[in-house]
Chains A and B, each alone.
Chain A
Amino acid sequence: MDKGRLKDLATLMPWVGLFLFTPPVLFLFHPGTTIFGVPLLPVYLFAMWFALILISRKLTQHLVNDATAFKAPPASPVPPNPSHKG
């Protein structure tokens, strides 16, 4: 995936997370349902949470490869030269 799209995705992450953890979505998990005797809602919350951690990790690794994002800003107001690739 290209850099721009990765950044969009990184910006989108918290909002996707917020959506997955908002009451209307949570109401989908009917209180009566259990899995190994444990109600489904806490299982969903923890599983989704863990999934988001994994995704965030993967995403961050890809973003880190984008070295320019972490370059310190130059100290003087010199506009960058437009580079001409031959």
Chain B
Amino acid sequence: MLNSGLVLITSASYLALLFLLAFFVNRLAVNNKSRMINSPLIYTLSLTVYCTSWTFYGAVGSAARNGLEFLTIYIGPSLVFFGWWFVLRKLVRISKSHHITSIADFISSRYGKSARLAALVTIMAVIGTTPYIALQLKAVATSFNVITQVPGLPIAASSIAHSFYSDTGFWVAASMGIFLVLFGARTVGVEEHHHGVVAAIAIESLVKLFAFLAVGLFVMFSVRAPGGGNILSAIALDPALSQRFSFPDQFGPRWLTMLILSASAIICLPRQFQITVVEIANERNLQKASWLFPLYLLLISLFVIPLAVAGLTILPAGSNPDQFLLTVPMALGYEELSLLAFIGGFSSATSMMMVASMALSIMISNHLVMPLLLRLRHTELERGADFTGILLTIRRISIVAILILGYVYYRFSTGSDALASIGLIAFAASAQFLPVIIGGIFWKHGTELGAFAGLCAGFIVWAFTLLVPVFEHAGLISGILENGLAGIAFLRPEALFGATGWDPLVHSLFWSYCANIGIYVFISLTTKPGALERLQGSLFVDAFKTPFSPDVPLSGRSVRSGELVALSQRILGTAPTQKLFKEFSTRQGVSGLPEPDASLVAAVERQMAGTIGAASARIMVSRVIEGEEIGIDEMIEILDETQQVIAYSHQLEQKSQQLEETTARLRAANDQLKRIDRHKDDFLSHVSHELRTPMTSIRSFSEILLDTDGLDGEKHEQFLKIIVSESQRLTRLLDEILDINLLENDYGPWEAKSIKPSIILREAIASLDGLVQQKNVTLTDRSTASDWSTHADPDRLKQVYINILSNAIKFSDQKQPRVSIDIKVAKDSFSTIISDNGPGIAPDDQAAIFVKYQRKQPSAQGIGLGLAISKQIITRMKGSIDVRSKQGQGAVFTVTIPNIQAT
């Protein structure tokens, strides 16, 4: 047992530290040194306000009662954050551009800035949150009693003191009230940032993590299972435990239901929406939180199972599992650790109470009190009282009222002892907001009436199926659970429409979602949305596509700048008003007050929405303007047109990209054509030149024969011989040209039969005998006879061999010209290697020699078609021909033909 004085002093100094921290952080924020506060880390830590004392103590309790089920409470939110890109990013983007102040404001803005929708959401949020705040107070009070109590005394009997001044819960609620009045309602700023509070809950989240990990590690390593192994092996030893930590009764439906509930809670709990969406300083913070927040959740749930098992193993049967975190260290004699755990639980409770009551106070002041004030005292307000002060007062009163409400609930609730069930009831209430939010950001046709009716229906079913049983257990009402509403058996709260045997939570979520979603969708499809609803709908759904801010003007025809300034000053305060109007003066290029055009009116409305909510802001601005809302239909048209223009220009961009690609391809093709054309010209000039030489000589000798009389017989005969030989050369040239043309176009004479290339090579060598003698070339033939055979045209192949060999022989410029022939026979190819020691071919020209229009040695015989023809022939045989050479060191030609079988 710990001394209660010591516990009180520790808690009080902890609170005092928080006050100091909040104070200094607010100071920093005022001096614009808030970079640290806006960091992703602080953001992530502040998100963990999700882990309340319910999860702190209740997770262990839940694990001890229901096994692994507690994990869903952490896994659901993790999944939502893994998918930040999908939903959270959109929520944040929308909230930033519409100056959203709370979840009620978000829903009301989406459905045409509806005041009644905002009020409904606020009332639902208050009803759903009050038991939750009561739960925190109860957790603190109970845990205080547990660690100051003599062990063995029954705890439940004395957990609530008889007079409030000796009740821990009262003092906690009171100090929270003071803290929030000081730090939670300081300004009515446009973007609802409360740096002091955020810093405090960030520190608290570290405290609770540290406390939980400390106790968890201690238990993990100091408590042994009955068999002597680590504490977790106790699960396998006990069949009941083993069953509890695998698949207990109703596991599947409950697991899935709780996943859905917790995933929707991380978005829809009012305090969570406040921290996740409204208080976020920068959209980028989401990126880091997307994995850091799940990591925090994983760490804080890591030791839940060991703690639960340890509690069940070493504590006497019937101990309250919700207090294992305190009682296990105490039972082991480590009371300091219990104190640490108590502080951890204390900080989870206080951080939840802070944020929840702050978020609710904003909603109450903006959506319940403001509209009432506007209606009741509207003449007085228009005379010009300072609204900023009134708003702050309303918020402070709301905070105190909410905490009092929570405290009262806590004092008078004697219902279920299990923390987890109250928490889940609150989760189920907030989950009713999910359909209208998700529908609101992904579905344009949801209407205000549909959302209103859907929310009402879902909420009524929730209250009937989950709250009524709680009231009945508390003894406030009786008979409904057993006999149904008004005695109708079909309307029993835990067996609606005869659905018996379901887990109450699964049952409630199923029927409430059926009613909620069904009615929301049905009425949305059957009602026609108003102009403002349609506009807000498309602005929300297309948040990433709409490039312009929602400047949706009321008609500006009868407004005077003076009135607008007066209104803005009252709501926003003097300094922000001056800043806003000065900005517009500069933009319009006037000195003094700017013209009250549509965009100025819209800007004022938007700034005001950031303070008092969209619905109230619209009412106030429209009163000053006293015009009709004629601008909206036009605005919708403009919006549609803008989107069309964007879509169109996107298409244009794609088209122009396609065009660019096509142009590039065309240009490449054109370049190639030009190159080929140039080659053709070269070829023609070569050919003409080549043909001209024999022609000239034939002509001149013929003329001599014709003109010269008395030419002796010998000369006569010599000239005729020249003419004949030149004619033959001419014919050969023409044959070659024809030949390559035929080969290229694939309709040359082509005979295919089984041949042995080695024999053909031999024949080719033999036919070049004369040339070899004439040029005095040393021919080394290392080829051997081979049986390798293929299917090809023998004459063509011989032509190739002769061509390459004769080139090698003819172009030799050495004193001792040498040509050698080798063959390489493989299973499916036959290679002939012909090498010489001639001048060689420069690397740049090696590819060109096989191209028909290129010729490297103009002095040589022929017009250089030989290699081009050879290449064509070998290509047609599906073989290859290539050359390796270095300038001045000879050349090596390799002709490879594949093994082709006759078909």
Contact = CB atoms under 8 A, between A and B. Distances in A.
A41 B246 contact: yes
Contact of B287 (A53, A54, A64): A64
Interface string A1-44: 00000010011011101100111001101010010111101100
A75 B549 contact: yes
Contacts of A77: 547-548, 638, 642
B642 A70 contact: no
Contacts of A80: 547, 646, 649
Nearest to A80: B649
B888 to A, nearest CB: 46
Contacts of B305: 42
B899 interface: no
A14 B229 CA distance: 37
B546 A73 contact: yes
Nearest to A58: B291
Interface string B253-276: 001100100000000000000000
A26 B246 CA distance: 9
Interface string A65-86: 0000010011111111111110
Interface in B213-272: 225, 229-230, 232-233, 235-236, 242-243, 245-247, 251-252, 255-256, 259
A52 B19 CA distance: 37
Contacts of B79: 14, 17-18, 21
Contacts of A42: 68, 71, 245, 305
B298 A17 contact: no
A57 B247 CA distance: 31
Contacts of A56: 81-82, 290-291, 294
A84 B687 CA distance: 47
B660 A85 contact: yes
Given A56-B291, A82-B649, A50 B75 contact: no
B68 A74 contact: no
Given A70-B283, A79-B642, A80-B649, A31 B82 contact: no
A53 B294 contact: yes
B351 to A, nearest CB: 23
Nearest to A61: B287
A39 B81 CA distance: 28
A49 to B, nearest CB: 6
A2 to B, nearest CB: 15
Contact of B284 (A26, A70, A79, A81): A70
Given A10-B85, A31-B246, A70-B283, A82 B256 contact: no
Interface string B273-294: 0000000000110011011001
B523 interface: no
Contact of B245 (A41, A46, A53): A41
Size bracket of the A interface: 35 or more
B847 interface: no
B75 A21 contact: yes
A63 B287 contact: yes
A23 B75 CA distance: 13
A10 B642 contact: no
Contacts of B68: 41-42, 45
Contacts of B82: 13-14, 17, 52, 56
A79 to B, nearest CB: 4
A79 B646 contact: yes
A46 B302 contact: yes
B80 A14 contact: yes
Contact of B547 (A17, A41, A74, A81): A74
A17 B645 contact: no
Contacts of B251: 23
A54 B646 CA distance: 37
B258 to A, nearest CB: 11
A30 B621 CA distance: 64
B interface secondary structure, majority: helix
A23 B291 contact: no
B290 A82 contact: no
B85 A7 contact: yes
Contact of A73 (B85, B290, B547): B547
Given A23-B256, A56-B82, A73 B548 contact: yes
Contacts of B233: 34, 36-38
B354 to A, nearest CB: 28
B562 interface: no
B232 A79 contact: no
Contacts of B652: 82
B78 A52 contact: yes
A43 to B, nearest CB: 10
A14 B266 CA distance: 14
Most buried by B among A17, A23, A26, A46: A17
A49 B76 CA distance: 11
Nearest to B543: A73
A39 B242 CA distance: 8
A70 to B, nearest CB: 6
Contact of A13 (B83, B235, B242): B83
Contacts of B401: none
B165 interface: no
A23 B252 contact: yes
Nearest to A76: B548
Interface in B452-501: none
Contacts of B247: 26-27, 31
A74 B390 CA distance: 36
A11 B80 CA distance: 10
Interface string B46-82: 0000000000000000000000100100010011111
A29 B656 CA distance: 55
A52 B294 contact: yes
Contacts of A38: 232-233, 235-236
B259 A21 contact: yes
B197 to A, nearest CB: 27
Given A17-B79, A45-B68, A74-B547, A57 B245 contact: no
A63 B247 CA distance: 38
Most buried by A among B83, B251, B295: B83
A85 B654 CA distance: 12
A73 B642 contact: no
B747 interface: no
B86 interface: yes
Contact of B86 (A10, A74, A84): A10
B232 A57 contact: no
Nearest to B254: A23
A47 B242 CA distance: 20
Contacts of A36: 230, 233
A71 to B, nearest CB: 10
A45 B297 CA distance: 13
Interface string B644-667: 011001001100100010000000
B97 interface: yes
A2 B854 CA distance: 46
Nearest to B74: A49
Contacts of A29: 246
B800 to A, nearest CB: 49
A29 B245 CA distance: 12
Given A49-B75, A63-B85, 14 more contacts: A10-B84, A13-B82, A15-B83, A22-B255, A22-B256, A26-B247, A31-B246, A37-B225, A39-B246, A45-B68, A56-B294, A63-B287, A77-B642, A82-B653
22 contacts: A7-B85, A10-B85, A14-B83, A17-B78, A17-B82, A18-B259, A22-B255, A31-B242, A31-B243, A36-B233, A38-B232, A52-B78, A53-B298, A56-B290, A57-B291, A60-B287, A70-B283, A74-B547, A75-B549, A81-B649, A82-B652, A83-B653
The 9 closest A-B CB pairs, nearest first, are A37-B233, A14-B83, A31-B246, A10-B85, A23-B252, A82-B653, A57-B291, A77-B548, A13-B82
